[in-house]
Each structure stands twice: as structure tokens, then as C-alpha cells.
Amino acid sequence: MEMREKDLSKLEQEGLQFQSSVPIIESFVGLKESMGLAMSQADLDFVEKYFREEEKRMPTETEIRVLDTYWSDHCRHTTFETELEEIVFPKGKFGEELQRVFNKYLANKQVTLMEMAKVIGKKMRKEGKLDDLEVSEEINACSIYIDVDVDGEIEKWLLMFKNETHNHPTEIEPFGGASTCLGGAIRDPLSGRAYVYQAIRVTGAANPLETLEDTLEGKLPQKKITTAAAHGYSSYGNQIGLTTGLISEIYHEGYKAKRMEVGAVVAAAPVKNVRRETPIPGDIVILLGGKTGRDGCGGATGSSKEHTKDSLALCGAEVQKGNAPEERKIQRLFRKEKVARMIKKCNDFGAGGVSVAIGELAEGLKINLDSVPTKYAGLNGTELAISESQERMAVVIAKEEEALFLEEAAFENLEATKVAEVTEEKRLILSWKGKEIVNLSRAFLDTNGVRQKAKVEVEEPSGNNPLTEAVVSGNSLADQWKNCMQDLNVASQKGMVEMFDSNIGAGTILMPFGGKYQMTPNDVAVQKISVEKGHSHTASAITWGYNPKISSWSPYHGSAYAVLESLAKLVSVGADYRKVRLSFQEYFQKLGKEAKNWGKPFAALLGSLEAQEAFGTPAIGGKDSMSGSFQDLHVPPTLISFAVAPVATKEVISPEFKKAASHIYLLKHTALENTMPDYEMCKKNFAWLHEQIIAGNILSCMTIKMGGIAEALTKMTFGNRIGLEVKNVGENFFQLAYGSFILESEQELSFDNLEYLGKTIEEYQIRILDRETSTVLSGKEMEKEWLEVLAPIFPYEYQEEKKEIYTLDSCITTKIYHSKERVAKPRVLVMAFPGTNCEYDSAKAFQDAGAEPHILVFRNLKPSYIEASIEAMVQELKQAQILMLPGGFSAGDEPDGSGKFIATVLQNPRIMAEVQNFLERDGLILGICNGFQALIKSGLLPYGKLGTVTENSPTLTFNKIGRHVSQMVRTKILSNQSPWLSSFQVGEEFIIPVSHGEGRFYVQEAELKSLLQHGQIVTQYVNFEGKASNEFRHTPNGSTCAIEGIVSPDGRILGKMGHSERKGEDLYKNIPGNKVQDIFSNGVNYFK
């Protein structure tokens, strides 16, 4: 148990029960049931034989738990490694097609699902067509070599990506399960020494609108699962500072059996930073990061089992607890070249804890569990061995580099401890309290247990083929169109998507919703490769493909179309399909012994093979989860194709219509007679479309998905409220047409598979023209109905009467602000407190402006670290001209409001005195987002000095909508009476990103009058007409008088919620407007 309820009838602290030794197993009879083991009985018999014949002793409890974990489906993919025999195909044309593909790729091979997943990659590599693949012993993430354009210079980088599921824990504890889904995904490429900067999320749920009465016994309500999971994943990503650019939830009743929670991340590192070596005897293993507790014990084995009605009550301790700020520290540490170059090999602590994370690093290891830092006393040896406490990393370094590595870790406020040594003897040895509690031969461990065998029978698809039948209800075309847009899998997910920070890192090329009105959903996450110095002109694009309706009808077809959809989405934004690499996510029911069950993943993987080879886009990684069952309910056969490609930032386009009077085309893909994709046609279309995008002939493009042509056309109108007038294509409006595209072009285009549909129009309408009649749909009404479907679950606006509010008076000055202290290159102190995540963006913004930024990490692991940090901050302030307090979640925004930790530090007597000295010599202070919160809570704003906060002071509190908000906003300059604003014209407007949960500026009437009187309110959220409004799309936090930023009475301290530092070339290409608010150059020029 992680924790238990205190008996309040005994008002005394109870003593902890300490276990002094680990029990020895007395008998193997009934052991599987008594210990609740995940391994098969054949595995257990194999273990018994090993101990009887080789070790000649009985095992310890820890050894059994370690083996059960090490050989679990989660850790060793035992289902995917099962040998498949007696493969039976159905009779007829479908069976012949499967047999043909099987013979083409898998004849004369020992067939496993794992071999099927790898076969195309192996084939292409053998043929010399996969030269970009990085090959090493470390295989925690897909890794390819790419060229990155950094200010015109080409650098060699590794691009890594990984998808991860947390279906089991998210079903039990949605917030924790989803948050650690992302945390686990991040750690995989991070262990490869790559900086993780980009994420997407794909989830599966049953209908979240269902009533409480429809909830199954032993299950949480779907609404609870889906909302809590969204909060969990977004909370982790927002805190660690990871751009989440694409969020999609798939709805299918099969996911009532078990939720699907998938995260995929992208990371990159210069090739020169990454060292790959095999550990040698004498090397040491450092445990880095978080402390170890009981959370997550049994997570690996638990996730390998199907759920029962008792799982909710019994499996809570299997859910890990995430700590995003701790993992960010590891990100910072590994980004340093000198640290990365020390690491010979690295493994993250995921499933299996110490036993797996350290146990996989070398063939011979001696691990001292007494050295493992713990969260609390009382953990026994078994718990220390298998706990899956998060945010831990195991690194192998040379013994002589131990002191330097520990010093660098301490500098980043990280705990690091030597816990193991690499040995000559090929055994895994774990000791606790001076005794060996695990001593296993590497040869035995690496058997991964008894190889299972299974029979396979693939069934003929039955029922209606979703690829040929457009199932949409309605008596008229207008009704059908509306019903299509209100389908759960077509309806807007804006209220969920905006919970995720989509613009941190100052590298977002496409926002999740584009256009002036930010309403056209984007299908691809595109972010710049994150570089520390200079500016990248190379981006990574990542997306996904999968349709549960197709896969439920035929897993074989489903996987082929998943690959096609993922590639088409990338092509639609400007990527070259020939540079794409794939990673699959498989999620299926518990297969058991039933041959027909095994036929589903077998058929799915078989269906993907020709697609991979035809496009030259192999799956070079993946993740399988094979326990999606609950009693008689099963998840739909799921194979998601994640697709990743590098792309030049200048070549990226977006899907929203750009102007009226453009031509609208359908670039058609017509399936083969057997309804499989026509790969040759698709390749021809992809190549032509890519050429047209590069030539600048395509204004906008969207690929066709679950809602057919109707969905694509309608969503393309929403972003800029540009209507359309197209010919009536009847049922084709609603048919699945994967691999097809809607294009907008100013010029007339000609191509074999291109069909002219009509034109864009100025009126916000959807007009479908027929010979005899026409159908006209209001764009505004369609948008409203599309938004409202999931609004009860994920509100997209706060419910308040929309109105313009008081637009504040402007204050204009002709004064030119200059400091009495003139400096050619002002020094900027950028503070990185625990939980800060915008320090890199802030430092780069000042660097671009000609300043010299210095990031200071405030360390609080030990009292001595706090003292040292205070001293360092004092000394840095003496040398600095500008103090920057960046955004983030300082100390997790606890307790009782954000920014309090920073405010407390600022009010330390020594720092308080030095800040006063700093201000007296004309220093400038800037606080953005979390930094603004700290300025408000410390009194620096609005009063200009520390320690002046009263109960009537202004504050920043929770957004009125009750959730995190990430989007672009329009702000207006009300005053330029500040060095920070000196180059701006009063009335000038900027489009800048916001991302916060507590950004609502609240001020009482008397204080508001004072701020107005002294000209301290300098920026305001405004609508498209430049007027302040309480409408959510314009003032998403609900601030008093739509206030976005204020200054101190002398103007030298500026606080604002908008992230002006998140700027750069080619950013936010799907949002029109002036997106560079260069307050940083103004601050630097103050000293010149």
C-alpha cells in the first residue's frame, strides 16, 4: 500500500513496521495464485527447474517478483514474441490476398507479431534504403539522423520519437495514469540524451455524454475518466514545459472495456552530444532524479492483465505518481554537452523499477538497494527492487567521472547517487541490508521465460464495409451535413485541446486551431527543432492515423488506412512522404488461447506491410498493449500509425481557407476493387501535391478523415469565416476517402486525379449547388452546433453575456527612456526556480535583443543549497541590469496560488535589500505569466517595492472558465510610459500566445482607480475591433477590465500574462496578425 487511513481514535503517531529480511519461497505449489503472478504456469515451472537444477536453492520473494516483472508482457512483449503456428486464412479472394502478402514477406520465417512489426524495416535496411536509422544497443526510442538548418548552417542531429500507452493506470486513476503516460514517454528519448520539445496525444473513450446510470459496475463514469485524464496529461505537459500541438480523442463503445491513453513525443540532440558505448567492468551506475516510494509497485505486471470489476479497488498502488518539475531538471542536465558526453549508456525508470532500469544496462551488475534514496522509511527489499516511482534515470559512467557528474547534477538541483557497479561476472545481484536478495544468471534472465505458442485464424470481414457505405442520417442534404458535423468523432474538441500548452518553447509553426477566429482544427503538430543557440529553420512534423470503424470491420484494411491517413496528413502541411518514418501503437483485447483473437493483431500487422514498403516509410519502433478486455467487452482492434518527418519551416502550410474567390479542388484517391488503397495513385498524388506546396501554389490543404469531404470543407471555413460554393457530389460528401485532399488555390490547377469543386466566397455560408436547387448552410450556425456537442464535458467558453466592457484611457508619452547607467550589452539575470519552464525562451529573447542573459537555477534540495542560491542571486543582481522572472509553475503552484514560492524568495531579507539596490540604480524587472504572479504577490507590482501587499491588493487568480487556457490573444498598447514599451505606439495591437491556469487579473474598484490614475495599466485584451470585451475568445481568463499587463509607478517593472518571449520567424503561420511584441529590445535599448 502507498498509504492508509489513519485511525483517528488513536491520537498518537504509530510506529512504522520495518521488515528486516526478505522471505524465502517455501514451495512453488499454488504460488501463481497466492502471489497474483502475471507469468504463465509454464514460466513458473521453468523458474522452478532453474532454481532446482542450477542454483540448487529456493528463490527469494524478491527474485520471483523481479522475474515476473522482467518477463512481463509490458517489459518483454511476451505476446508479441509468441510463436505463431497453424495460421489459417479464410477462403475466397480475401484469404488469397492475405496469403499473397504473407508469402511475400514472411514465408520461411519464424512468425511472431514482433517479427511482423519489424520485417519491413529489416528488409529496407538490408537493401540500403534506411541509412538514416541510428542503430545502437539503446532502443528506448526511434532515432534517425537528420540535417538541421541553424541560421543557414547545416548541423547533424538525431531526431527521436516514441509513443507510450498508460491504458491500465488511466482506467483506474485517470489523472495520475495520464500524467505519467506523458512522463514515461518523455523519459524514453530523454534517456537517449535528446531534449524532448514536442508532444501529441491520442486517446480512446466510450461516449463521454452517457448518463451515470450507464456506467458499468466496477468502472468509473466515462465523463470522469476522460476529463480527469485530460487534466492529468495537460498538467504534466504544462508543468514540464512541453509543447503539445495535437490532441485527439477517438470515441468508440469498445473503449468502455478499457480506456486508451497514448502519448507520443519528439526529441532531438546534436549527434556530437550523444555517446553510445557498452559498459565495462568497473563502470558505475548513478541513480538520478526522484526518490523511491511504493507507488507503481506491480505496474508492469498489472498492465499485462485484463481488468475485472475489482481492479478499481485493488490496483490503485500500481499507478505511479508523476513529478514534472523533477523531470524538467533531468531535461536541463542532459542538454549540457559535457554531461551528455559523460554518459556511456542510460535507461529510464519505467516499468519494473530498479530491477529493469538498472538490470538492463549491463550483463553483470551488483546493485546496492540500501543506496537507493527513498521517499519515506519502511520500504523492504522487494519494494525497492520493483517500485516504479517516476522521474528517475539510471546512467552508466566511468568511475573517475563520478565526482564531476554528481557536481553537475547538484547544480541542477538534482539528487544523484551511486547505486551499482558493472561486474565481470554475468549475473544480476541485488543486495539489501547487507544480504543478497537477488542473484540470477544473465543467461537465464535473457531467456525471457518460456516462449509461448499460439494458433492464428483470420476471419473474413463481415457486416457493412465502412469504406463503401456513407452512413449519415437525415432527410435532406442540410440535415445530413449537420448530423455529420455533430458526430462525436467530427465534433469540436476545442475545449479539451486548449487545456494543453501549445506554444511553449517558441517553436510552434502551426497552432492547434488556425485562422483569425482560431477555429479550423489542425491535423499535424509542427514545431521547430529546439536549439540552444541560434535559430532553427527545420521543424519536426508528427501526426497519427487510425479509424476504429474500419479496423473493427477488418483489421487488415484498418492498418493499411492508418498508414495512409498518417502520411496524407503530413503531406497536407508540406512534408515529403519519402522522408517519413513510422511508429505503431497496437492495442488489442486479451488474446488468450482463442485462434480468432490472435487473428486480429496478425491481420492488422499484415495489412500494414505493403503500405510501409510501397511508400518507403517503415515502422522503426512501436508499443504494444494487449490487455484491452473487461469481462465480455473488448477494445476495437487498434493499430495507430504515428508518422514523423523533418520539414523546412518556410514550406509549411495550414488548412484554413485564406481568401475569397479562390478555387477549391478535390485531389482524389480511388481505392482498389478490394477497397485496399491504391498505393501507386497515392504516391503520384503525394508527389504532385508536395511539388505544388513548395512552389507556393496551394493556399490551404486538408486531408479527408472520418467525416468525409463535408467535414473537411466545413472546418476549412471556420478559421477565417470564409464561405464556399461547391457542386453537389451527393453521398460522396460523407464517404470515407482517406488519401484524398481538399485544396485551395488562387490559380487554376490541372492534374490527373484533380476534380474542381467550386470557389471560396466572402459570405460565411456553405452553399451546395445543384442543377435544380441549392442548399445553403449558415457558417455561424454550423460552427455553433459543431462546438456545442462536447461542451458539457469540455466547455469552450465561460457562460456569461457577451459584451464590450470598459476600454481604458490611453496614456501617451513622448519621453525617451534611458538609464543613467549606460551598458553596451546589458546583463540579464534569468531566474529558474523549481517549476520554472520558460527560462530558455526568455534567455533567447534577450539574447536576440543584444543582451547577455545568465540563467540561475535556484536550488532547494538541501538547506545548504538554499543558502548558496540566495548568495548567488545576490551576487548576480549586483552585476545585472535586468531581472527576468519567467513563466512556469513555481513549486507546482502550491500552496494556495501560483507565484508564492518566488514571492517568498524575493522577500528574503538579503534578496529584498539587493532588489532595492538594483532598482535604485535604474534596474529593470520583467515578469511574464508565473513571473507576473510573483511580482503581484510580492508587492513589486503594482507598488514598485517588496512587502507592500494587503488584502485589498490586486491578484491573479483562476481563469473564469475553471481550466488552463492556451491560445493566441489580441492585446492593445494603452500606454508607452515605460522603458519596456517605449518603441510602441499607443493603440498598437499584437497577437501573442497565452498559456495559463491562473491568469485572471482581479482588482477592486479603489485599486483600479489608482492604477488608472497613475497610468499603470498598459495592455488590455481586445476584440477584432480593438475594443475590450468579456468574450472568452478575446479575454480567455476573464480579467477585470480585460487587463493583460501593468507596470510599477515608475514604469520600470512590467508584469504581463501574454508570452511575448515566444516569438520568432515562421511561428504561428496559421494565425494572421502582428506576432512580434519586442519588449526585450526596448529593455536593452534603455541602457544604451
Classified as helix, coil or strand, 528 is: strand
| Burial per residue of 74-112, b for 16 or more beta-carbon CB atoms within 10 angstroms, e otherwise | bbbbbbbbbebeebebbeeebeebbbebbeebbeeeebb
pLDDT averaged over every residue in the chain: 94
What's residue 8's pLDDT? Answer: 81
Q: Is the pLDDT of residue 229 over 70?
A: yes
Could you give phi then psi for residue 590, rounded to 5 degrees? -65, 125
As a whole number, mean pLDDT of residues 399-420 equals: 98
pLDDT tens readout for residues 847-858: 999 999 999 999
In this prediction, residue 310 has a pLDDT band, given cuts at 50, 70 and 90, of low
Name which of 1070, 964, 182, 1034 is nearest 496 in CA terms: 964
In this prediction, residue 821 has a pLDDT band, given cuts at 50, 70 and 90, of confident
Identify whether the C-beta of residue 268 lies closer than 8 Å to the C-beta of residue 162: no
- Checking DSSP bridges between strand 538-545 and strand 525-528, what pairing results, if any? antiparallel
As a whole number, mean pLDDT of residues 500-520 equals: 99
Q: Is the pLDDT of residue 74 over 70?
A: no
What's residue 315's pLDDT? Answer: 45
- For the chain, the domains span 19-69+275-447, 467-487+653-796, 827-1085
* The most confident of 742-751, 803-812, 1021-1030, by mean pLDDT: 742-751
What's residue 313's pLDDT? Answer: 47
In this prediction, residue 314 has a pLDDT band, given cuts at 50, 70 and 90, of very low
Q: How far is CA 230 from the centre of its chain?
A: 11
The fold adopted by the segment(s) 827-1085 is Rossmann fold (3.40.50)
What's residue 3's pLDDT? Answer: 61
C-alpha span between 1016 and 1002 (Å, rounded): 15
What's residue 270's pLDDT? Answer: 98
pLDDT tens readout for residues 738-795: 999 999 999 999 999 999 999 999 999 999 998 778 999 999 999 999 999 999 999 9
CATH second-level architecture of 19-69+275-447? Alpha-Beta Complex (3.90)
Q: Is the pLDDT of residue 418 over 70?
A: yes
pLDDT tens readout for residues 161-172: 999 999 989 999
Torsion of CA 136, 137, 141, 144, to 10 degrees: 0
Q: Tell me if 19-69+275-447 shares its fold with 467-487+653-796.
A: yes
- Of the candidate CATH numbers 3.90.650.10, 3.30.465.10, 3.20.20.10, 3.20.20.70, the domain formed by 467-487+653-796 belongs to 3.90.650.10
Q: Where are the beta strands (DSSP E) in 538-661?
A: 538-545, 581-587, 619-625, 629-630, 633-634, 638-648
**Contacts for 736 with CB less than 8 Å, ≥ 6 apart:** 466, 467, 470, 547, 550, 704, 706, 708
Q: Is the pLDDT of residue 968 over 90?
A: yes
C-alpha cell at 818: 534611458
What's residue 19's pLDDT? Answer: 78
User: Identity (one letter) of the amino acid at 106?
Assistant: L
pLDDT tens readout for residues 976-995: 999 999 999 999 999 999 99
What is the torsional sign of CA 59, 64, 65, 67? positive
What's residue 309's pLDDT? Answer: 55
**Which residues make beta-bridge pairs with 464?**
none
Q: First vs last Cα of the chain: how many Å apart?
A: 62
Name which of 442, 289, 388 is nearest 74 in CA terms: 388
What's residue 350's pLDDT? Answer: 79
In this prediction, residue 299 has a pLDDT band, given cuts at 50, 70 and 90, of very low
User: Identity (one letter) of the amino acid at 97?
Assistant: E
Q: Is the pLDDT of residue 262 over 80?
A: yes
What's residue 263's pLDDT? Answer: 97
Mean pLDDT is lowest, of 293-302, 410-419, 910-919, 930-939, for: 293-302
What's residue 179's pLDDT? Answer: 95
As a whole number, mean pLDDT of residues 886-892 equals: 86
Q: How far is CA 927 from the centre of its chain?
A: 26
As a whole number, mean pLDDT of residues 726-731 equals: 90
